[in-house]
Amino acid sequence: MARTQVLEVPVQGMDCAECALHVQQAIAKLPGVEAVNVLLAAEKAVIRLDPERVGLPAIRDAVESAGYSVPEAAASAAPPLAALNRQMTALLAVVFAVVLAVVVVGEWLGLFDRLNELVPLPVGVALVAAGGFPVFRNVARAALRRQITSHTLMTVGAVAALLVGQWVAAAIVVVFMRVGDYVERFTAERARRAVRELTALAPQAARVERDGVEVEVPLAEVRPGDIVVVRPGEKIPVDGEVVAGHATVDQAAITGESMPVEVAAGSHVFAATVATLGSLRVRALRVGADTTFGRVIKMVEEAEAHRGEVQRLADKFSGYYLPLVAGVAALTFLISRNALATAAVLVVACSCSFALATPVAMLASIGASAKRGLLIKGGKYLEALARADVVLLDKTGTLTLGQPQITDVVPLNGRSASEVLALAATAERYSEHPLAEAVRRAARDQGLRIAEPEHFEAIPGMGVRAQVNGSQVSVGNRRLVSAPEAAAVAQALEAQGKTLLFVAADGAPVGVLAAADTLRAEVPAAVAELRRLGVQHVELLTGDHERTAAALAGQLGVRYRANLLPEHKIEVVKDYQARGHVVVMVGDGVNDAPALAQADVGIAMGAAGADVAIEAAHIALMREDWRLIPAVFRTARRTMGVVKLNIAFTAVYNLLGLTLAAFGVLPPTLAAAAQSLPDLGILANSARLLRQG
């Protein structure tokens, strides 16, 4: 049986989506390659292959035959273009505008016609060939593979200009082809920046204890089980468990949350987070690409491989667009016999702007979201989220904190609330029941002293009994403690879906404690915001009993279904989908994993460190903050708005350019300048997504 292997190969020289497509096609033709995704932003190809049939040398040859290269080792630093900032963008735009103005003025004054007459045609042809050699070489390689690129038409346009003796027009075509290449390269670098900024956060070395001595080693040499030493101000290099020390850790790289957390022995920490105060000894559990941070980077890198319907439509359109342009050019020549107008038609059309319209916006949005603790697996999920009209909610650990809290203390028979809580906490001191921990936590929060019980007895299914200061204290349900005088209070609390603990001293009831898995404070406002965003149906799905579900749903003003098993939740999702709804499921990523996977968009809460959550969900929230839910809806809708504007702008612009060129209004020189403008517009429009708050 053939053994399948996944190989990641760096690819250099890709500047646009069309470049990535050519590399993907070249690799896909190799025997033994089962699947390939070429990631423009990450500058690499992810290939699933049979290693017995194909290897790296064959892949390198295929990439080079497509006009690109496979470096011996991945570059350690981003190329200079990745450092370009807004000022450089403005400078590029100014330079482009100046060159465009010179071309317009030169055409209007007839300077190019005079230059064309003064310089011999062979000299002009040599200048054009020298300036356009890199482009012409790639076009020739594509032609040998029977492929048409956006530069194919422009090259044909330049050749057509040379054939009619207009070498200056051909030279200007070449100039603007090169300018357009730089614009596209800059656009691609902006898309890559989010990935590189994330990657730069990862530490490259670790201080490890080896034979009782601290040794600094490359991160690749750290193994699970190693004890890693982290000093104040250093990045934690692994996912692991703190075995000694205490520190304040900045987890913004993982959760997007700016507030640091306190960690001590027993706490779990994540790679790429920073120990701002204090030092730690950490037992490594996951290292390298297996850490939460490593998986975050992988998700962002591979996000562009998950293409939505808008992206597929743009790709399909690009496939038909170039032959269409060739047909318009042929028709122009047949009708007008105007070679320059024909050349202008070929030059003004460039499909790269269509190919860039969707991925640049998606990658900008996905990269910006990752910095805020929102991991989005691909553009198709943003697209689905923008159309979603049903949101289904898990309860425990999603809407609620996932652990019981004491919400009410009702004293009886002259006792005070603090006295009742202190008695109950002392009696529950050694109980392992979750409700016992809730009682102890409530007492500690109020600063009450939890005494040492003189005798402790756990009574299964009923509660506990203990000797406290000479009195026999019982804490449990009605089967253990009878409190008829608390019947009315108990009924009211149980109607709210709360669990009751009755407290008695020497057989006499002294109070009632009510516990509930409390709602997260930010949830009501977040659910209200979802409704304002146009979500028609919000529904609670829970395995809890009817009374608890009804109480929680009543607080939020949503519908509910109770007593559900995981398979029942899947059926609810399928039912909504069968009726034509786009469904979002929000859960904790563990018991909700099947429903998260079935939904059009599954959103996992608090996914940091949770393998199941990151694998099952389409969007993972790295911290348990419900404000991120409406935020990701707004991000999706804003992103799709930018994508649609990109496509509409490109379509209208190219249609206008083709029309003007076909009627001879737009000469080849201006057509060459005009074809690069849509890329600049798409870059500027998509860059707005990098600044989302």
- Residues noted as catalytic: 394
Half-sphere exposure of 606 (CA within 13 A, CB side): 13
Kindly write down the DSSP assignment for every residue of 558-626, as one continuous string: -EEE-S--HHHHHHHHHHHHHTT--EEEEE-SSTTHHHHHHSSEEEESS-TT-HHHHHH-SEEESS--T
CA separation for the pair 136, 156 (Å, rounded): 10
Range 263-269, long-range pairs (CB < 8 A, 24+ positions)? 266/241, 266/242, 267/241, 267/242, 268/239, 268/240, 268/241, 268/242, 268/609, 269/236, 269/239, 269/240, 269/241, 269/242
C-alpha–C-alpha distance, residues 38 and 22, integer Å: 9
> What are the strands, taking DSSP E only, across 351-399?
374-376, 390-393
- Cβ 343 vs Cβ 157: under 8 Å: yes
The Cα-based distances of 157 to 105, 181, 345, 361, 399 in angstroms read 22, 17, 8, 30, 61
Tokens read off for 318: 């690009």
Phi, psi of 490 (to 5 degrees): -60, -40
Quickly list DSSP for 30-79.
Answer: STTEEEEEEETTTTEEEEEE-TTT--HHHHHHHHHHTT-B--SS--SS--
Are residues 555 and 658 in contact, defined by beta-carbon separation less than 8 angstroms? no
- Report d(CA 180, CA 195) in Å as an integer: 24
Sequence-distant (6+) residues with CB within 8 A of 665 are: none
For 114, the 3-state DSSP assignment is helix
Contacts of 126 (CB under 8 A, 6+ apart): none
Q: How far apart are CA 45 and CA 8, in angstroms?
A: 6
Paired residues of 386 in beta bridges: none
Tokens of 327: 């047909």
When computed from its CA atoms, the radius of gyration of the chain, rounded to whole angstroms, is: 33
Distance CA 321, CA 351 (A): 7
